Amino acid sequence: QGMEDYSVGKYFTAIEFFEEILNRYPFSKEATLAELKAADCSYHLGRYVEALLLYEEFENRHPTNEGIPYVMFQKAMCNYKQIDRVDRDTSGAEKSIVLFRQLLKAYPSSPYTEEAKSNIASATEFLANHEFFVAEFYTRTAKYDQAKVRLKYLLNAYPNSGVAPQAEELLAQIESGDPPRSRLTSWFPKVEMPDWDFFGREDEADSAVEPVQR
């Protein structure tokens, strides 16, 4: 019944069935799958912090399970889904990159390899744009030394990012002693950001291949 509800998106009821199995029959053959699907339910319900904890517990309890590549991918996705606006916290992007890379290192040929690489690229672009946002703020407020530090860091850490050319231009102007001082709004380039809400909540990319549990 839990799997039937899960398959049609009834995650609120599905998780109740999975939790009942875990509470009443913790040593049954169904318990391992119920444990994983309970984590998946929390994930699909947008409870990413809770889902991450459940995935971590599953990984710790079943380190040799055939579903571990999927679990590692989902751990990364729990952080990736929390990527917000470019002017906000960057921890979701940073942690997701670390976890995606761990997956790629441990299981380079898993079904999640290409999506993990794509998500790393998106999260990295987000971090680069965040650095440019901060540098732009420092420039607007005439804190040019701080702006130079952030721009140099951006160009060193993310030299191939889409915003790198704008960063180079702004750094050159500041270092030449001629930073933009007037009509700042019109001078600063419009950074075309990906739709981070889309990247964070596109269900079709959630779990393209889910493992079969034994």
- pLDDT for 84 equals 82
pTM of this prediction? 0.82
For residue 194, which amino acid is it? Answer: P
pLDDT in tens, 163-176: 999 999 999 999 99
Q: What is the DSSP string of the chain?
A: -HHHHHHTT-HHHHHHHHHHHHHH-TTSTTHHHHHHHHHHHHHHTT-HHHHHHHHHHHHHH-TT-TTHHHHHHHHHHHHHTT---TTS--HHHHHHHHHHHHHHHH-TTSTTHHHHHHHHHHHHHHHHHHHHHHHHHHHHTT-HHHHHHHHHHHHHH-TTSTTHHHHHHHHHHHHTT----SSHHHHS-------HHHHHH-GGGS-SSPPPP-
Q: CB of 177 within 8 A of CB of 171? A: no
Q: Check pLDDT > 60 for residue 154.
A: yes
Q: Using CA atoms, how far apart are residues 121 and 114, in angstroms rounded to an integer?
A: 11
pLDDT in tens, 1-56: 999 999 999 999 999 999 999 999 999 999 999 999 999 999 999 999 999 999 99
Q: Check pLDDT > 60 for residue 116.
A: yes
Q: 204 falls in which pLDDT band (50, 70, 90)?
A: very low
Average pLDDT (135-150) is: 93
